[in-house]
Amino acid sequence: MTVPRILVIDDEADLRELVEITLLKMGLDVDSAESLATARTLLREQEYALVLTDMRLPDGMGLELVREVAGTSRNTPIAVITAFGSADNAVTALKAGAFDYLSKPVGLDQLRLLVQSALRISAAPVAADKATPAMDGGTALRLMGESALMRDLRAQIVRLARSMAPIAISGESGSGKELAARDIHAQSARVDKPFVAVNCGAIPESLMEAEFFGYRKGAFTGAADDRDGFFQAANGGTLLLDEVADLPLAMQVKLLRAIQERRVRKVGATVEEPVDVRLISATHQDLAECVEKGRFRQDLYYRLNVIELRLPPLRERLDDIGMLADAILAKLAAPGARRTTLTPAALAALRAYAFPGNVRELENILERALAFANHDVIEVADLALRSASLPAGLPAAAPEPDLPAIVPAPLPPTWSAAAPAMVATPALPVALPDHLDQVEREIICRALGQTRFNRTQAAELLGISFRQLRYRMQRLDIHEPD
C-alpha cells in the first residue's frame, strides 16, 4: 500500500517543521515548500492526498493555490492555515474551494483531525449521479427527480460532500431540505459517523444550551448525570440545524463561539472540549431578511452561509411529479398488494397544482387519496385538491366523504367561578398553561378538520411550519381519527 503524501506550504520554518513532524509521526510522507512557485512545481510532479497551505506567502496568496487545486479534476483536498482571529479569510477560502481550514496557533489535535478527514476524502471515490429512490424503505437517501434542476442539485451535493464548509440550505417547507442534508452526509467521508438533526424551533429557550452542549452532573436541579449535547452526539459527523432562523439571539452568540473555536463547554463544566462537526443549517425563512430585521446575527449568518444550496419548489420542476408520485404510491402500498396508479387526469391535476407544501404535501395528498380510491386507481376527486389550484376543465374535489369528526377532549374546569360580577370580560383561567393548551388543541383540531387532516395545509392555514404543527400535535396528543 502506498503511503499518502502531503504537501505543506508555509514560509515560516518553525510552523512548517511542527506540521511536518506531526505528519511524519502519523506515518505519512511529507513534501514542503516555502513559496507558491515551489508548490506549483511539486504539484505538477506529484499526486498529493492533501495540500495544506498558509494564506500569506512571499510570492502571493494561498488563496490562488486553493482556486488552482480546486479547479482541477484531480479532487485533491486543499486546506488553508489562517491567521489568528481571521474569520474572513477562512470563509473566503472555503468559498473558493478549500475543504477546511486551521487557525493559528495550529492545535495539533485539530491538525490530526483535519488530516484524517482529508485522507478519507481522497480515498473515497466520487459518487456518480444515481437518483436512488429515497422512499424504498429508508435505506437510500438520494433526492429523487430527473428534472434538470434536480440533476444539478445532486451534482452540487456530490461536490459539497467533499468539503467541511458550512452549508446553508434554503427552500420552502417540505421541499427536501432535511433530505438534502442527509444526502450530503451520506455522500461524505463522515458517513460512518452520526448525522444529528436538531429542530431549533422546537427546543424551549431555557434548555437550549444544555441540549446543544450537554451538561455536567449537578449543573442544575434535575441534572442527575453528565450528559452529552447535540455537538458531542454529532462528533466526527454532521449536525443539521433545522429552522435555524428560530434560534434565540442569546443562543446565536453561544453557537457562533462554538463554531469559531470548534470547542464547546458543557453547562456546569470548567473546561472546553474539542468537537469535529460539519455544520449544515436549513430554513424556509429568508435568513438575510432576518439579519436586516435584527432577528439573526450577521456574524453567525456569515459563518453558516458559506455555501448556499437552494431546494427548488416542486412547482418549478413539474417533470418530477409523475416519478415522485409513483415512488410514494409504491412506498405506501401494503406488502403484496397491487400498485395503485393515477389516472391521466389526476396526474394532470397534480401537475397543475401549486404545492405550497411541496413533496411533503404530495405525500400527504396521496396518502389520503389512497383511502378514498376505488379499484387501485386514483381519480382527480380522490386527490381533494383545493379547487382554486385546478386548471379549467378538471372537476374539483368531490363533496367531502364522511370523515370522523376530530373531537378535542372536553374542556377541563379551568374557569374560575369567582369572576367579578361587574366585569364583562371572561374570568381568568386558574391554570393558564392548561387553558392555553386547550385553546391551542381546539384551534389545531379545527384546522385539521377543515383540511381533512392534511397537515401541510393545516400548518399553512395556521401560519406555522409543518414541523411546528407536528411538534404541537405530539405535545397535545392529537391523532388522526381511524
Ligand X SMILES: Nc1ncnc2c1ncn2[C@@H]1O[C@H](COP(=O)(O)OP(=O)(O)OP(=O)(O)O)[C@@H](O)[C@H]1O
Cα–Cα separations (whole angstroms), residue 384 to 160, 166, 173, 397: 39, 40, 20, 5
Q: What are phi and psi of 165, to 5 degrees?
A: -60, 135
Q: For residues 355 and 466, what is the distance between their CA atoms, to the nearest angstrom?
A: 13
DSSP string, 234-262: TTTSEEEEETGGGS-HHHHHHHHHHHHHT
Nearest by Cα to 347 from 376, 374, 318, 373: 318
Q: How far is the CB of 183 from ligand X (least distance, A)?
A: 9
> Among residues 217 and 475, whose Cβ is nearest to ligand X?
475
Q: How far is the CB of 370 from ligand X (least distance, A)?
A: 16
List interacting residues with ligand X (CB under 6 A): 134, 143-145, 171, 173-179, 242, 282, 284, 359-360, 363, 465-467
- Cβ atoms 390, 396 nearer than 8 A: yes
Q: For residues 209 and 254, what is the distance between their CA atoms, to the nearest angstrom?
A: 8
Q: How far is the CB of 144 from ligand X (least distance, A)?
A: 4
Q: How far is the CB of 12 from ligand X (least distance, A)?
A: 45
Could you check whether the bond before residue 426 is cis, i.e. omega within 30 degrees of 0? Answer: no
> Among residues 177 and 262, whose Cβ is nearest to ligand X?
177
> Among residues 359 and 390, whose Cβ is nearest to ligand X?
359
Q: How far is the CB of 209 from ligand X (least distance, A)?
A: 23
- Cβ atoms 83, 89 nearer than 8 A: yes
> Among residues 39 and 469, whose Cβ is nearest to ligand X?
469
> Among residues 177 and 278, whose Cβ is nearest to ligand X?
177
Q: How far is the CB of 213 from ligand X (least distance, A)?
A: 23
Q: For residues 275 and 264, what is the distance between their CA atoms, to the nearest angstrom?
A: 7
- Cβ atoms 458, 447 nearer than 8 A: yes
- Cβ atoms 30, 8 nearer than 8 A: yes
> Among residues 110 and 156, whose Cβ is nearest to ligand X?
156
Q: How far is the CB of 298 from ligand X (least distance, A)?
A: 23
> Among residues 140 and 219, whose Cβ is nearest to ligand X?
140
Q: How far is the CB of 401 from ligand X (least distance, A)?
A: 25
> Among residues 34 and 320, whose Cβ is nearest to ligand X?
320
DSSP string, 209-241: HHHHH-B-TTSSTT--S-B--HHHHTTTSEEEE
> Among residues 175 and 281, whose Cβ is nearest to ligand X?
175
- Cβ atoms 464, 448 nearer than 8 A: no
- Cβ atoms 387, 397 nearer than 8 A: yes
Contacts of 375 (CB under 8 A, 6+ apart): none
DSSP string, 318-351: GGGHHHHHHHHHHHHSPTTPPPPEE-HHHHHHHH
Q: For residues 26 and 380, what is the distance between their CA atoms, to the nearest angstrom?
A: 64
Q: How far is the CB of 40 from ligand X (least distance, A)?
A: 42
Q: How far is the CB of 178 from ligand X (least distance, A)?
A: 3
Q: How far is the CB of 103 from ligand X (least distance, A)?
A: 32
- Cβ atoms 164, 121 nearer than 8 A: no
Closest CB to ligand X: residue number = 176
Q: How far is the CB of 368 from ligand X (least distance, A)?
A: 15
Joined grid coordinates for residue 377: 386507481
> Among residues 113 and 328, whose Cβ is nearest to ligand X?
328
Chain centre distance of CA 15: 37
> Among residues 43 and 383, whose Cβ is nearest to ligand X?
383
Q: Where do we find the cell 392555553?
A: 436
Q: How far is the CB of 362 from ligand X (least distance, A)?
A: 8
> Among residues 182 and 266, whose Cβ is nearest to ligand X?
182
Cα–Cα separations (whole angstroms), residue 138 to 102, 134, 142, 230, 315: 36, 6, 10, 23, 25
> Among residues 91 and 153, whose Cβ is nearest to ligand X?
153
Joined grid coordinates for residue 196: 444529528
